[in-house]
Structure 1
């Protein structure tokens, strides 16, 4: 019985550790912010946050065409997941598939004029949500430190 109590105490200490707590705050904040963005984009622009992410990638340079494979990698989606997403976006006239001039087996995706217009509106809506829930609650110096620190975390994860 005493051994069980000790294991229970150790387990509780582990579950309440600062690292577990702090990482949980990060995940919870990111998840809640993503849900809020998705909800507002669906309501105001009739696109999902994931569709917005595709449009970001396609609108970075004028007339950019990107392969579905690159989009899948950028958004960490499976091949079938990106295919279904692009199917829905094509049905909504946000994107179109075009044959790759370099590789007949490959299909590229580009934003349509309608997709670019929806994207421009979505950027405004996205910015309002991010400003209200990510930027405004923080002191400007804290915001700068947070974004700098997140950049460091991303570099660390990318580099290895």
Structure 2
């Protein structure tokens, strides 16, 4: 039996409206809207983007750790060229500096500057305020704990499944 255009349209509509498609869409829309709120607040109040804050978080997490530009690209899921451009902008803004790795001069290490650490502290407060307002406050404490636990399980499954 050949499918009719109407039959195909009905199947496509059913697939597009499936519970899995809708639930995943809700997750992506919520994450995207939250990221946009964070980015907007950071740009307005601190003059940096959310991605720049993510770099500073990574660099400030373990102060003595040597972090290469390649590690930043991997951690932030950015392309190598995208990371280079981002670090260029951050270096121009005085937030980070590049150093040659003592073990391999081909490797560029990235460190926060004193100005970068100050900007990070200011931006971390803005980030926390927005996350609290739009990610934590809308949920009961128990629901928030369940959500973060579930997200951790999903992240672990994706990380483990990729090996």
Residue 152 (structure 2) aligns with: 151
Quote how far apart the aligned CAs of 1:63 are: 3.8
> Once the two structures are superposed, what CA deviation does each residue of 1:52-111 show, in whole Å capped at 9, x if it has no partner?
000000001224331000000111111111110000000000000011111111110000
> Once the two structures are superposed, what CA deviation does each residue of 1:123-158 show, in whole Å capped at 9, x if it has no partner?
100000000000000111110000000000000000
Residue 124 (structure 2) aligns with: 123
Range with bigger deviation, 63-72 or 123-132: 63-72
Kindly report the root-mean-square deviation, in angstroms, between the aligned alpha carbons of the 2 structures.
1.3
Structure 2 residues not aligned, in runs of 5+? none
Residue 137 (structure 1) aligns with: 138
Residue 21 (structure 1) aligns with: 22
User: Structure 2 CA distance, aligned partners of 1:145 and 1:5?
Assistant: 42
User: Structure 2 CA distance, aligned partners of 1:74 and 1:62?
Assistant: 16
User: Structure 2 CA distance, aligned partners of 1:19 and 1:122?
Assistant: 35
User: Structure 1 CA distance, aligned partners of 2:62 and 2:11?
Assistant: 54
Structure 1 length-normalised TM: 0.97
In the TM superposition, structure 1's runs of 4+ consecutive aligned residues that sit over 4 Å from their partners are none
Paired residues for 1:30-109 under 5 Å: 30-109=31-110
- Number of equivalenced pairs: 160
User: Structure 1 CA distance, aligned partners of 2:8 and 2:89?
Assistant: 51
SS of equivalent to 1:85: helix
Question: 1:45 touches 1:121 (CA, 8 Å); kept in 2?
Answer: yes
User: Structure 2 CA distance, aligned partners of 1:23 and 1:148?
Assistant: 17
Structure 1 residues not aligned, in runs of 5+? none
User: Structure 2 CA distance, aligned partners of 1:56 and 1:36?
Assistant: 18
Structure 2 length-normalised TM: 0.95
User: Structure 1 CA distance, aligned partners of 2:127 and 2:61?
Assistant: 16
User: Structure 2 CA distance, aligned partners of 1:74 and 1:109?
Assistant: 13
User: Structure 2 CA distance, aligned partners of 1:8 and 1:62?
Assistant: 56
